[in-house]
Every structure is written in C-alpha cells, then in structure tokens.
C-alpha cells in the first residue's frame, strides 16, 4: 500500500470493511434462520440457503477484488482532479493538493452504500421468490393452511427489485451523483447580484 494515494487507500479499506459486513450479515442470517432451515421444506428453505450463500459469496468476492475497486475509484478521482491549464512561473512551486476532496469522499461513500443496498436487495429478492413459490405450492395441496395473501409477496418482490435498482444506480453512478451534487452546491453558494 506504500506509494498509493489516500483515495486508493480509503477505497481499499472501505471495500474490505464492506466485505466483512456482508460475511457477518450472512452469518447472522444463517443464525436467525437456523430453526427455519431445519423445520421448513421446499422452495422457501432453498431460497433462504441461496440468499445466505449470495451474501457470503458477495463478501468474499468483494474482499478479493478490493484492490481493483480501489484502482477504479482512485482512477476516476484522478480524472476529476486533473490540473487546470494555468501558466505558472517556474519559481513558484505548485500548491499542495489535498489527497482526497469532498466529491471523491462522497463518491466512495455512495459506492459502498450502493453495494450494501444492491446485495441486500438481491438477498431479499431471492427470499421473496422462494416464499412465493412455497405459498403457491401449498395452495394446491389438500390442507388449507392460513397463509398471507399473495399481494404481500408481490409487494416484497417489488420492493426488493427497487432496492436492487437503487443499489446498482448508487454503485455504478456514484461519481455522476457526486459531480451533480457538487455542481448543485456551487450554484447555490454563488452570490447573486441584483440587477440595477
């Protein structure tokens, strides 16, 4: 990590922290669902197992590719920090730049938030699909078990899909969002001169 920019180091550490969070989230979900996984049979059980595996696999993968993610974020931050074309005298040393600016920090934060929302939404979608398959298979059975209406599962599918879309937008569009917010901030902070 020596010789790397602060942006790269921050991105790398944030990716590793997120990876640990996802693995812990998978373990907690497995612990909370342990009795359900033993008792329940069918699609709902397999959906819970797949959701746990997706969370754990996403955490492990994120841990392994943290270097590449940090390179991507640092490269994009370097593009945002390109020096302006100004003629400076050779006697004047260049002004020191901060190693990480607000837009870069916001971009890193939005990317991390997007990954959390994306993976959590994916796990929720898998669970909702498993529950929907389970409820549909028990409707046909002879036993009439009191189950929640189908609308609840459709709403669960819709909200999980929206979380996936929002997470993907935050993950892959974080730099655009940060740039937009920075432009919006500079527009609102510019002093307005009255017309005389």
CA distances (Å), origin 196, targets 143, 188, 192, 193: 82, 21, 12, 9
State the pLDDT at residue 96.
Answer: 45
Which residues are within 8 A (CB) of 51 and not within 5 positions of it... i.e. 6 or more apart? 29, 123, 124, 126, 127, 130
- Residue 74 has a CB neighbour count (10 Å cut-off) of 22
User: Can you give the pTM of this predicted structure?
Assistant: 0.60
> Poorest-confidence range of 113-117, 173-177, 188-192?
188-192
Is there a domain that residue 128 lies in?
yes
Pairwise pLDDT comparison (10 vs 84), residue with the higher score: 10
State the pLDDT at residue 74.
Answer: 76
Average pLDDT, the chain: 76
State the pLDDT at residue 89.
Answer: 46
165 contacts 109 by C-beta, under 8 angstroms: no
C-alpha closest to that of 54 among 90, 30, 31: 30
- pLDDT of 45 higher than 60: yes
Is there a domain that residue 85 lies in?
no
State the pLDDT at residue 167.
Answer: 87
Conformation bin of residue 61: beta by default, left when phi > 0, alpha when psi is -120 to 50: alpha
CA distances (Å), origin 9, targets 4, 12, 63, 172, 195: 7, 5, 14, 20, 48
Domain of residue 184 covers 6-80+100-189
Is there a domain that residue 94 lies in?
no
Number of domain units in the chain: 1
Residues 102-145: tens digit of each pLDDT: 677 777 778 888 888 888 888 888 888 887 777 777 665 545 55
Q: What is the mean pLDDT of residues 159-168?
A: 89
State the pLDDT at residue 143.
Answer: 53
Q: Provide the pLDDT confidence category of residue 87 given band limits of 50, 70 and 90.
A: very low
Record the tokens describing residue 196, joined without a space.
């005389």
State the pLDDT at residue 56.
Answer: 92
Is there a domain that residue 74 lies in?
yes
Q: What is the mean pLDDT of residues 69-94?
A: 60
Is there a domain that residue 129 lies in?
yes
C-alpha closest to that of 66 among 133, 20, 123, 6: 20
Is there a domain that residue 93 lies in?
no
């Amino acid at each position: 990590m020596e010789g790397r920019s602060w942006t790269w180091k921050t991105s790398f550490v944030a990716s590793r922290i997120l990876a640990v969070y996802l693995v812990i989230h998978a373990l907690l979900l497995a612990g909370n669902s342990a009795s359900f996984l033993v008792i329940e049979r069918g699609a709902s059980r397999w959906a819970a197992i797949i959701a746990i595996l997706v969370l754990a696999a996403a955490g492990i993968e994120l841990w392994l590719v943290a270097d590449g993610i940090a390179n991507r974020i640092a490269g994009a931050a370097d593009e945002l920090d390109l020096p302006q074309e100004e003629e400076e005298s050779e006697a004047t040393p260049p002004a020191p730049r901060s190693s990480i600016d607000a837009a870069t920090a916001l971009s890193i934060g939005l990317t991390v938030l997007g990954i959390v929302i994306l993976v959590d939404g994916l796990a929720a979608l898998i669970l909702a699909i498993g529950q929907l398959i389970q409820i549909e298979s028990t409707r046909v059975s002879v036993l009439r078990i009191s189950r929640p209406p189908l609308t609840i599962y459709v709403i669960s599918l819709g909200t999980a899909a929206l979380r996936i879309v929002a997470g993907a937008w935050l993950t892959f569009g974080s730099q655009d969002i940060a740039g937009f917010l920075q432009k919006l901030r500079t527009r609102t902070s510019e002093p307005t001169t009255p017309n005389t």
